Amino acid sequence: MTYALRPIFVIQLSIALVVSLPASGDPRPAPEKGGSPDAKWGKPVGGQAISIAAERTVYAPGAPVLLTVVFKNVGQQDVRIIERNLLATYRIRVLLPSGTGAPLTLFGKTRYANCSDGSASVSFLKPGEQERARFAISRLFDLSLAGKYTVFVQRHVWTPGNNTSTTEVTSNRLELAIDDTLGEPIQESVGGH
């Protein structure tokens, strides 16, 4: 399997991509090592499903929020997938309690403005195989306001039986909270103090 990833994105976003083999013949998504047996998955589309998880559900303001994304072939046949840089492959959605999108940070705006740069390739996932990616969403989105955020991820995949069109797979929804009673926001000093 080949990937056309630009190393700069992997280093700057602390993203890891791993393909692993199935632990059993069970076509349902299996929990990840160290994960919960109750791992949540989005609705399978064309034999493909996405699960997202975070290390915890409540964070102090300014704390790093890492999102783990698992994309798995839950079907019985090989699936053809499009591989691009990870920000172009996975569309991360972070919603405020009002339902509007959380604003991007300056870093996030820069990354998303350049995410379509680079090449794409096609590869295959066998039944039970999966890809795993990690995103530092607190670097991409402004999570500085206290409150609850809803996070989900989408990925375009080939429409089953049609290699000329794509459809979208959506992950489970994850509820995260920023609780300002957990500590003061982390601030970087300016001017050497």
CATH number at residue 74: 2.60.40.3880
**pLDDT per residue as tens digits for the range 151-182:** 999 998 877 667 777 889 999 999 999 998 88
Confidence tier at 185 by pLDDT (50, 70, 90)? low
Residues 6+ apart with CB under 8 A from 35: 53
Predicted confidence at residue 120, as pLDDT, reads 76
pLDDT of 10 over the 70 cut: no
Confidence tier at 142 by pLDDT (50, 70, 90)? very high
Highest mean pLDDT among 51-55, 85-89, 117-121: 51-55
pLDDT of 72 over the 50 cut: yes
Distance CA 152, CA 176 (A): 11
Q: Give the residue numbers spanning the domain of 162.
A: 7-25+37-182
pLDDT of 24 over the 60 cut: no
Query: Which tops the pLDDT comparison, 132 or 163?
Result: 132
| 82 in any annotated domain | yes
Percent of the chain with pLDDT over 90: 43
Amino acid at 115: C
Whether 2 contacts 19, CB under 8 Å: no
Predicted confidence at residue 88, as pLDDT, reads 82
Q: By three-state DSSP, how is residue 191 classified?
A: coil
| 117 in any annotated domain | yes
For the chain, give percent helix, strand, coil, nearest 5: 15, 40, 50
pLDDT of 53 over the 90 cut: yes
Provide the H-helix boundaries in the chain: 7-13, 86-89, 106-113, 137-140
Q: What is the count of structural domains for the chain?
A: 1
- pTM (2 decimals)? 0.73
Query: Which tops the pLDDT comparison, 78 or 189?
Result: 78
Percent of the chain with pLDDT over 70: 71
| 189 in any annotated domain | no
Residues 6+ apart with CB under 8 A from 60: 178, 179, 180, 182, 183
Give the E-state strand segments of 99-185 in sequence order: 121-125, 130-136, 147-159, 162-170, 174-178
| 187 in any annotated domain | no
Per-chain mean pLDDT for the chain: 77
What distance, in Å, lies between the first and last C-alpha atoms of the chain? 49
- What mean pLDDT do residues 25-51 have? 64
Predicted confidence at residue 99, as pLDDT, reads 87
- What mean pLDDT do residues 116-145 have? 87
